[in-house]
A = this chain, B = another copy of it.
């Protein structure tokens, strides 16, 4: 089975792997499936905190063939942390029967490396979709059972653009992050049946406005050339106390949906983690009023969005080590973003 547990631990700095010591003693070296972290860099092109975290964590993921997904940027109140996704056996009663009749399951994997000129295109979307479909099949769930597909995808650096055999989708390194997230999100939507094969080009051309998934969470970085993928789903075949619900913020101040989703956590259940995507709306307004996130040449728009949405999410969640990631192209409606809430009954 692919049953899992999720352990969230704050970190002292991006090179800190002391979270490993907090795992239950029974955890075996090949149980660590994924490390999903927030690091304190700028979350943009030259954010090497992600590379530092990958460098120190990846050796611990070798045994399991697991992956790391580090999302840079803990602006505002956000607290750097890691969520360790570990394999966990089904919870059984003394008589050997299942303790729960459902549970959370996960599968991780990676696509092939992408050429610079493939990044941000339909090629990236299709290759990513194929890998996700395979992972969904392997974990034996349906697309509708999936709560979140979390992906770390590559970006373009000046060196890659210059070296590329064909023309790239953009020469602007910061913008390449958005195109890569978009293509990945469209790939997720394709794998989950939310966009059809015919709709890919339109989804890409409309920058995700006509074709998006509320279960996509994509983050781009210079520290990899392929896509790292985590599929999180509910399964009736598993038996564990982890549960999830998902939805999306309609805009960057959508307190209502956050309160609704968190209200679904039963009394007495333990909050595990909330995963949220955030972005500056490209029309320059939030509920009709001008924002300055895209005309600020000192602070990138994704940093602004993470800080603001992070403040709102932390206020609702009651703690600051929440996963809020910037750049929600195709991951929820324009200006909003996907939300996934994980709890433990």
Contacts and interface: CB of A to CB of B under 8 A. Distances in A.
Contacts of A307: 75-76, 304, 307-308, 311
A77 interface: yes
A294 B45 CA distance: 9
A319 B13 CA distance: 35
Contact of A318 (B56, B173, B253, B282): B253
A159 B284 contact: yes
Contacts of A297: 42, 44-47, 173-174, 300
A206 interface: no
A64 interface: no
B298 A42 contact: yes
A26 to B, nearest CB: 27
Most chain B beta carbons < 10 A, residue from A52, A161, A303: A52
Given A12-B290, A318-B253, A171 B299 contact: no
A291 B175 CA distance: 19
A32 interface: no
A74 interface: yes
Contacts of A296: 40, 45-46
A103 interface: no
B282 A171 contact: yes
Interface in A210-268: 222, 252-255, 258
Contacts of A254: 315
A172 interface: yes
A287 interface: yes
A290 B79 contact: yes
Given A253-B315, A255-B316, A307-B75, A294 B158 contact: yes
Contact of A55 (B15, B46, B293): B15
Interface in A274-329: 282-284, 286-287, 289-300, 303-305, 307-312, 314-316, 318-321
Contacts of A49: 48
A253 to B, nearest CB: 4
A80 B290 contact: yes
A10 interface: yes
A157 interface: yes
Contact of A46 (B45, B222, B295, B305): B295
Given A75-B308, A299-B303, A311-B252, A14 B289 contact: no
Contact of A289 (B10, B161, B172, B287): B10
A65 interface: no
Contacts of A171: 282
A339 to B, nearest CB: 13
A92 interface: no
Given A76-B307, A77-B293, A158-B283, 5 more contacts: A15-B48, A40-B46, A76-B308, A79-B289, A297-B300
